[in-house]
Structure 1
């Protein structure tokens, strides 16, 4: 079970995801989304678009601009153009809701989603974890013969500086067949893919053995204390009988050789954010002292920078390399099928660790990300601090790692304060959902490989896994390396074609797992 959730980090500490851990994981953060106000086949919504529903008392009113917008097209079949028209229209509107975290303001996004579901005749529940921080859950009932599957995405996004972009990041601009906006890939695009496939299950009266649950959460970009972690700790009843979850974390990666790789995240390293605080006598900068807070901090951090955690091959990593070995030349397979033993051989170890993507899979890592000291150039502060971002392999004990860090620092008047901490959990890959992803690959992209993957960043899957729920990071969206590099970066966007194909593939995948 996961350690108790830590308090949400200070607002100045917006999370930066680490780079992914393998060529496979380049697709992990990107999820397809298209925002074009394009026309398409199908009937229009009876009411104007998904205009925000009235705000509950105490919440800011919905934006009047959204109310005045014309209705989005409405797909009533699996016709690609009709699905593209609706998905693009919905995503453009979703992207115009600024949910930059902090502060989040996910309540406005939840009202947008709720309005759409109301028009579809689908009941939903909105749960506030704090003022303005909302989570939404809706459910399509099955016949109860199998446990439920959930489609999850987060409504918050990271900050975007408009002057750095070629198009305004919160306008949902359609340009050259792609939809531009913060969240187009992470994570509002996938949200629209899930929302539309969820609605199509109802519109087309798909017979269901499982309940299908739509989950839209707050605060993922800052650790999830107001979102997924809040739901699993305070409102787990809304996830009753859920045994499978699809979430962000993997996609269909288009490799340089034109081959396709379906990457399915089944495990991730856990974040351990630590604030390291040094104290010492304050004074004037012209009279330096050996026991000042800054000197103590520098000495401690120098020791930390030199520290390396031991090589460790956890079962999840061995499973990953065993799966990869199947596609390797026969002469190389054995070394990767027993990685712990192979790493004891100097030549293999040197070659393996020369790849930075491999290095982070076999040891815990440390990055010093923030430094703080005096507010004045000529004042020695009484306190100086740093923030260290550690990423722990699945199964590692955060308390044991903190104790190790304290031993490494070995400096008087230096303390360590946890900011964010939980244990990493993994999902099994011998499940109906994982097999269904493999079947989807063979139907839609014959010859594509399906591989389990581990990522260095963290997602809401870890919150669901902490309650024993199998969660996979996978969205059926074709992505290139260039697409993934825009996540959390400039000019984030995705093509209308990718959005359409993602929505139809998601419908097909969910129907195959949940249908009867």
Structure 2
């Protein structure tokens, strides 16, 4: 049985769990069986659940010394986005270790967290240790699509398993972010909401050579231009406000909350952690129209990725509707509300303490994630969800370019650092 976190992560990377969307996956079952088998070998009974063929989830519970305390959930997804081998320097599913990094699709999104969690549980088993409180484990399918075979299904069909859970941790937080000589460690305490829209323009079909003032493609393009050009006002959530204030104080930067754009400019590289979350966003991503170059189609459609801050959804939809014009309608493909967890809480304080124990110079700050995670599903159970998958990252390493990017890789020493931090947090 693999014990070292690097070996565990490499083994997971070699299992192709590509999620192509639309309800299919290459191999979550094999990854789930690997995880469940490892936990069983450590004396932690694990259950594999498949809501659809090969869409596998793993649930387990590690008993703590005080079962009366609220339990902590560690949730991590087993699926990954596609990777084109022709674009990569190494085969994306080879789990290659070289140049101080472990390479492979899912290295930071998020098989690293799965491996770190298994490594921590392994240490407890070998050393006869137990966490202070029950630790609930959920390794899930389908996060990279709609979660219908993963977290959302578990919340709907296995709700009782999560009874007594007070907080959860998962991806996109706890990693080091260098700003000059300082090291910020952002912990995710909020996420923008997701509203995926489909815009449909209707016009008059006809011959491409003839004048047509009701061309659906033209109606759609003009509407998209107006939607993409919407000027969204600054809206500071508690997480973003706290990030600006605490990061500014640590970096010696003047913070003026009445001039957020100016403050972001002064924060330099730290601004990347907040610049996408001070406003809503409306981003066109998919276009569909026509079937022949000399035929004007009667309809044309576009999908728009809309991200929303708390309390802004109705206002934003009204502004989108006003921008569409008379020939374009919209429908909601997917809606998941924004989520927020308390910043001033014992959970956040314990994460910060675990980071500082391994890096005494760590500057721990809350932040809001621009995208979304399975926290949106688990928060429906009243669980406070945090982004905390700790890693120490070397200078020059672009963590934010790794997830879903080409040549995704995670630093080996960063993995070991993260495992130590995670052990401290989960144990105490």
In structure 2, the residue corresponding to 1:222 is in which secondary structure?
A: coil
Rounded Cα–Cα distance in structure 2 between residues aligned with 1:165 and 1:310? 39
Q: Is the 8 A contact 1:184 1:494 kept in 2?
A: yes
The answer for the alignment partner of 1:230 in structure 2 is 153
In structure 1, the residue corresponding to 2:422 is in which secondary structure?
A: helix
Rounded Cα–Cα distance in structure 2 between residues aligned with 1:186 and 1:430? 27
1:124 matches 2:46: yes
Deviations 1:367-395 (A, max 9, x none): 11111111222221122111111110123
Q: Is the 8 A contact 1:193 1:506 kept in 2?
A: yes
In structure 1, the residue corresponding to 2:285 is in which secondary structure?
A: strand
The answer for the alignment partner of 1:360 in structure 2 is 276
1:381 matches 2:381: no
Rounded Cα–Cα distance in structure 2 between residues aligned with 1:88 and 1:439? 24
Q: Structure 1's 462 and 260: CA in aligned 2 closer, same or farther, altered over 3 A?
A: same
The answer for the alignment partner of 2:357 in structure 1 is 443
Q: Number of aligned pairs?
A: 416
The answer for the alignment partner of 1:219 in structure 2 is 142
In structure 1, the residue corresponding to 2:397 is in which secondary structure?
A: helix
Rounded Cα–Cα distance in structure 2 between residues aligned with 1:314 and 1:147? 27
Q: Is the 8 A contact 1:154 1:219 kept in 2?
A: yes
Compute the displacement of 1:245 (Å): 1.1
The answer for the alignment partner of 1:351 in structure 2 is 262
Q: 2:320 aligns with which of 405, 408, 426?
A: 405
TM-score (norm 1): 0.76
Q: 1:320 aligns with which of 206, 230, 243?
A: 243
The answer for the alignment partner of 2:374 in structure 1 is 460
Compute the displacement of 1:241 (Å): 1.0
In structure 2, the residue corresponding to 1:478 is in which secondary structure?
A: coil
Q: 1:262 aligns with which of 171, 181, 185?
A: 185
Compute the displacement of 1:440 (Å): 1.9
Rounded Cα–Cα distance in structure 1 between residues aligned with 2:419 and 2:404? 23
1:297 matches 2:220: yes
Matches within 5 A, 1:424-439: 424-439=338-353
Q: Is the 8 A contact 1:300 1:411 kept in 2?
A: no
Rounded Cα–Cα distance in structure 2 between residues aligned with 1:441 and 1:277? 49
Matches within 5 A, 1:171-250: 171-250=94-173
Q: Structure 1's 116 and 468: CA in aligned 2 closer, same or farther, altered over 3 A?
A: same
Compute the displacement of 1:135 (Å): 1.4
Q: Is the 8 A contact 2:239 2:343 kept in 1?
A: no
Q: Structure 1's 431 and 350: CA in aligned 2 closer, same or farther, altered over 3 A?
A: closer
Q: Is the 8 A contact 1:198 1:214 kept in 2?
A: no
Structure 1 stretch displaced more, 456-465 or 415-424 = 456-465
Rounded Cα–Cα distance in structure 2 between residues aligned with 1:361 and 1:177? 33
Rounded Cα–Cα distance in structure 2 between residues aligned with 1:464 and 1:164? 35
Q: Is the 8 A contact 2:284 2:304 kept in 1?
A: yes
Rounded Cα–Cα distance in structure 2 between residues aligned with 1:371 and 1:354? 34
Q: Is the 8 A contact 1:425 1:466 kept in 2?
A: no
Q: Structure 1's 89 and 213: CA in aligned 2 closer, same or farther, altered over 3 A?
A: same
Deviations 1:139-165 (A, max 9, x none): 011231211111111111111110111
Q: Is the 8 A contact 1:268 1:394 kept in 2?
A: no
Q: 1:469 aligns with which of 379, 383, 389?
A: 383
Compute the displacement of 1:256 (Å): 4.9
Rounded Cα–Cα distance in structure 2 between residues aligned with 1:93 and 1:359? 36
Deviations 1:329-387 (A, max 9, x none): 48x35x3xxx2xx2xxxxx4662476885553332111111111112222211221111
Select the structure that is richer in strand. Answer: 2
Q: Structure 1's 351 and 508: CA in aligned 2 closer, same or farther, altered over 3 A?
A: closer
Compute the displacement of 1:136 (Å): 1.0
Q: Structure 1's 254 and 423: CA in aligned 2 closer, same or farther, altered over 3 A?
A: closer
Q: 2:285 aligns with which of 369, 390, 393?
A: 369
The answer for the alignment partner of 1:112 in structure 2 is 34
Matches within 5 A, 1:9-24: none
Q: Is the 8 A contact 2:58 2:139 kept in 1?
A: yes
In structure 1, the residue corresponding to 2:386 is in which secondary structure?
A: strand
Q: Structure 1's 295 and 159: CA in aligned 2 closer, same or farther, altered over 3 A?
A: same
The answer for the alignment partner of 2:77 in structure 1 is 154
How large is the Cα RMSD of the aligned pairs? 2.2
Matches within 5 A, 1:41-80: 45=1, 72=2, 74=3
Rounded Cα–Cα distance in structure 1 between residues aligned with 2:228 and 2:130? 57
1:392 matches 2:308: yes
Q: Is the 8 A contact 2:242 2:365 kept in 1?
A: no
Structure 1 stretch displaced more, 111-120 or 359-368 = 359-368
Q: Is the 8 A contact 1:352 1:359 kept in 2?
A: no
Q: Structure 1's 324 and 275: CA in aligned 2 closer, same or farther, altered over 3 A?
A: same
